[in-house]
């Protein structure tokens, strides 16, 4: 009987020891542990919101010509506080980024930069362009046709909702068929109709 008890205890020890070794193997196998950490991290951390892909003016002119898209130019200076605020509060919004990427070729133009671009038959600096477009307040949002022709400039800071209204005027092609005033009147009429339909 003693031999049998000893044998059972021996088997139990082997089974228990084997389970411990197997468990330790799982814990110390760095590939499994690393995969578990990666899997957990991937679930816990959402994908990073992609940055808006700004182009320089030369690349934008080429891209707009081939795509037919309107160029949207953010004219700024390094010292402009409202420019930084527009970056943070407007350009950072997902709906603004998505609409810009879909409908425009977005450009950043530092109005004090000596970066050169070949524009309208001559080599010009960004500073020359800003001066030539009579931009003297920052930020200013400028719109150019796909051929690089100046369409309009909108000086000043704009929050995301107001900015989207302006973007849609150009991005959806309304500027080709109606004035800015007519476009605003149509928006106000549509908002009034919507309010009346949903009291």
pLDDT digits (tens, 9 = 90+) for 33-53: 334 334 443 333 334 456 889
Cβ-proximal residues to 107 (8 Å cutoff; 6+ apart), any chain: 54, 55, 56, 57, 60, 71, 72, 73, 74
- Residue 194: what pLDDT? 67
- Residue 70: what pLDDT? 97
CATH class of 57-197: alpha beta
pLDDT in tens, 53-86: 999 999 999 999 999 999 999 999 999 999 999 9
Q: 15 to each of 6, 87, 106, 119, how far by Cα in Å?
A: 14, 64, 67, 80
Cα separation, 24 vs 170, whole angstroms: 64
- Residue 193: what pLDDT? 72
Average pLDDT along the chain, 199 residues, taken 10 residues at a time? 44 42 39 39 44 92 96 97 96 96 96 94 95 96 96 96 96 94 91 70
Which residues is 110 bridged to in the sheet? 76
- Residue 134: what pLDDT? 95
Q: Per the confidence metrics, is the pTM higher than 0.75?
A: no
Cα separation, 194 vs 188, whole angstroms: 10
- Residue 45: what pLDDT? 38
């Amino acid at each position: 009987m003693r031999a049998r008890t000893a044998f059972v205890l021996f088997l139990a020890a082997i089974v228990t020891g084997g389970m411990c070794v197997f468990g330790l193997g799982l814990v110390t196998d760095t590939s499994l542990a690393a995969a578990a950490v990666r899997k957990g991290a991937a679930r816990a951390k959402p994908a990073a919101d992609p940055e808006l892909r700004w182009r320089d003016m030369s690349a934008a002119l080429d891209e707009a010509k081939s795509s037919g898209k309107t160029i949207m130019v953010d004219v700024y200076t390094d010292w402009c506080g409202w420019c930084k605020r527009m970056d943070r509060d407007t350009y950072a919004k997902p709906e603004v980024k998505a609409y810009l990427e879909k409908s425009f070729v977005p450009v950043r133009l530092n109005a004090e930069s000596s970066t050169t671009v070949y524009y309208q038959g001559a080599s010009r600096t960004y500073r020359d362009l800003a001066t030539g477009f009579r931009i003297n307040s920052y930020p200013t949002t400028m719109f150019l046709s796909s051929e690089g022709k100046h369409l309009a400039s909108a000086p000043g800071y704009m929050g995301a909702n107001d900015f989207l209204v302006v973007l849609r005027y150009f991005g959806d092609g309304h500027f080709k068929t109606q004035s800015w005033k007519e476009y605003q009147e149509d928006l106000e009429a549509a908002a009034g109709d919507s309010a009346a339909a949903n009291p």
